[in-house]
Structure 1
Amino acid sequence: MKSFTAISSLLLLGAASVFAAPVSEREVPAPTEMDITSFSANTLPHGDGAFISFNLAIPGTTINTQCAYSDGTSISSLPRVPLRNCADPAVSWQFNQDPSQPGTQGQYRVVITYAYDGVKRVAGYHEWPATDFPLEEWGSTYETFYRGQADFSINNLA
């Protein structure tokens, strides 16, 4: 009986030391893709305002969030949107049109950043030609509408 108690005590001490050992931190790998769905952008026909919105999912994570912007001041061109959070604050985004070069219109670009594994960040972008954002006549006004693909992936993450 004494040997059974001694062995039981040793087993309990050994198990306690295994459970008390620090767990090594597991490094979370950086995502390699961001999936955008339902991208839309336009200025408001016959009024002042602009709207940009999309859904974003990051495969291999729990991120599935909506990103949106609206204003009541844009007239017929989409505004530059400074870095702002999506519904999930781990994801931020910005939108702008590059300056035009002689004889061309600047490209449009959305940049997305994602904070993961503590303080680590990854970012990527998607570009469109200006032709995907035509200025369309709406009676007495002209408005900008996104006419490209609503769903796409960002794979240039760094």
Structure 2
Amino acid sequence: MKSFAVLSSILLGAASVFGAPVIERAEAPTEFDVTNFSANTLPHGTGAFISFDVAIPNTSVRTTCAYSDQTSTSTLPSVPLSECADPAFRWQFRQDPSLPGTQGRYRVVLTYAYDGPKTAAGFHEWPAADFPLENLGSAYATTYRGEPDFAISNLS
């Protein structure tokens, strides 16, 4: 039995020297980089689309998050907490309630599960002006007009 323990130690040590994968403990991300953010409804109330890519800087972790329907009207729908292509990421989109005389801000929330039960989460907000309801003649549609790339660094 002693020789098995010694031999196992030698082989495990050799595996790390010869490039065998070593399992690392995941660290909490400090930022999500969002790119290609897009959101719009179709004229005549025939659907909505929201999509974006998300990555954790200095890692190979990246995924795409997307939503579409064929029932939304001219305003963007609230999207409940939904999985991205990588199920470790989840996201939510909504417009906050309005205060008198104003339009509510839009918000996307992202969560990322890492290292077992641990989760990092953060959000990004936009003014309602970035999501104008546009008159297209005989129809209306909402189209995101803000910056498509941004960072979410308020992770907790």
In structure 1, the partner of 2:78 is 80
After superposition, residues 9-158 of structure 1 pair within 5 angstroms as 15-16=6-7, 18=9, 27-158=25-156
By how many angstroms is 1:140 displaced? 1.0
Tell whether the 8 Å contact from 1:46 to 1:138 is kept in structure 2 after alignment.
no
| Partner secondary structure for residue 148 of structure 2 | coil
Paired residue secondary structure (1:131): helix
How many Å separate the matches in 1 of 2:110 and 2:4?
50
- 1:7 is matched with which residue? none
**Superposed displacement of residue 91, structure 1:** 0.5
Q: Tell me by how many angstroms 1:14 deviates.
A: 7.7
What is the one-letter code of the residue matched to 1:79? P
Distance 1:53 1:26, change over 3 A: closer
Q: Which runs of 5+ in 2 are unaligned?
A: 13-22
State the alpha-carbon separation in 1 of the partners of residues 89 and 4 from structure 2: 45
Contact 2:44 2:73 in 1 (8 A): no
Report the counterpart of residue 3 of structure 1 in structure 2: none
Structure 1-normalised TM-score? 0.84
Aligned residues: 145
- Which stretches in structure 1 are left out of the alignment for 5+ residues? 1-9
Q: Any conservation in 2 of the 1:58–1:64 contact (CA below 8 Å)?
A: yes
Q: What is the Cα deviation at residue 93 of structure 1?
A: 0.3
In our comparison, the structure showing a higher alpha carbon Rg is 1
- Give the alignment's TM-score, normalised by structure 2: 0.85
